Amino acid sequence: MCSLGVLKSIMFIVNGAICLVGNAIVGVGVWVMRHSSSLLGFLDHIEDAPEELRQLGNVGILLIGLGTVLTLMGFLGCCGAIKESRCMLLTFFIIILIIFIAEVAGAIVLLVFQPLVGKFFAEVGGKVVQSIERDYGTSDGLTTFWDTTMEELKCCGYYNYTDFEKSPFVTEKSRYPIECCKDDVDCTAAAAAAATADIDGCFPKLVTLIEDNAGVVGAVALGVCAVEIAAMVVAMILYNKAGKK
């Protein structure tokens, strides 16, 4: 049987890990908030975009909130261990349990909707290209959005430079967006320059971005679950020991 001192040390280590995990989740939330305009901003220019999909933009806010709560819970767990307060330990256990259940539910929702999101991004490609052909170069909102997205993701158009061929920007200025050309290519040479640059489209870039970060998100999620389970176990042991004094 572990001594009370050992359990307190374990509690400190576990809650330190909870604080680190909370900070990591906040970091992921900030990343999502930063890239949400690139990931979902074009939905503002799609008439039939589902409202449910638009709500994915709130994921970053939820992650930041969750990470902040976990960080605060880490401090609460440390205080409960130091003071051997049954009330604080029980409160810590209940809140961590609620967070754990919410995370499991959130993971299930993401697994269910992940194929739907991927399918939607593929299906709306035609409508996105139509909005580019109709408004890029004349609509300040859409033009700024695409310029920002292409600059951040280092991409050109939704599929490639041909998305801009019929846009007012190309037809009036006879050149493609600067993001569609490399530094050593003159974009004023229109289609020839853009074709030579061969910049990837933003849709394949988004797919690659999501796939590359899926492993990181999964690892963070597993780490969160493991640390939270350990924290709940240690909190209950300390709770029972404090009750026997």
Rounded to whole angstroms, what are the CA distances from 200 to 89, 96, 159, 182, 206?
A: 53, 43, 7, 11, 10
Q: Which CATH class is domain 126-197?
A: mainly alpha
φ/ψ of residue 181, rounded to 5: -125, 150
d(CA 119, CA 85) in angstroms, rounded, equals 51
Choose the most confident range, by mean pLDDT, from 82-96, 107-121, 146-160, 175-189. Answer: 146-160
Give domain limits for the chain.
Answer: 4-122+213-243, 126-197
Lowest mean pLDDT among 53-57, 109-113, 146-150, 207-211: 53-57
pLDDT confidence of residue 67: 84
Indicate if the pLDDT at residue 68 is higher than 70: yes
pLDDT confidence of residue 153: 82
The answer to whether the Cα torsion of 42, 173, 201, 25 is positive or negative is: negative
Question: What are the tokens at 32?
Answer: 């999502």
d(CA 174, CA 168) in angstroms, rounded, equals 9
Question: What are the tokens at 59?
Answer: 């994921």
Count how many residues are written for the chain: 245
Rounded to whole angstroms, what are the CA distances from 141 to 45, 82, 136, 147, 174?
A: 9, 55, 9, 10, 21
Indicate if the pLDDT at residue 183 is higher than 70: no
Return the closest-CA partner of residue 224 out of 68, 18, 72, 61: 18
158: number of Cβ within 10 Å: 25
Indicate if the pLDDT at residue 48 is higher than 60: no
pLDDT confidence of residue 230: 82
Q: How confident is the model at residue 101 (pLDDT cuts 50, 70, 90)?
A: confident
Residues 160-177 as b/e (b if ≥16 CB within 10 A, e otherwise) read: bbbbbbebbbbeeeebbb
Return the closest-CA partner of residue 21 out of 79, 76, 72, 67: 67
d(CA 30, CA 13) in angstroms, rounded, equals 26
pLDDT confidence of residue 157: 87
Choose the most confident range, by mean pLDDT, from 24-33, 102-111, 186-195, 210-219. Answer: 24-33
d(CA 37, CA 46) in angstroms, rounded, equals 14
Return the closest-CA partner of residue 20 out of 64, 71, 62: 71
Rounded to whole angstroms, what are the CA distances from 196 to 1, 116, 151, 199, 236?
A: 70, 35, 18, 9, 65
The pLDDT tens digits for 113-162 are 666 666 666 677 788 888 888 888 888 878 888 888 888 888 888 888 88
Side-chain half-sphere CA neighbours of 165 within 13 A: 8
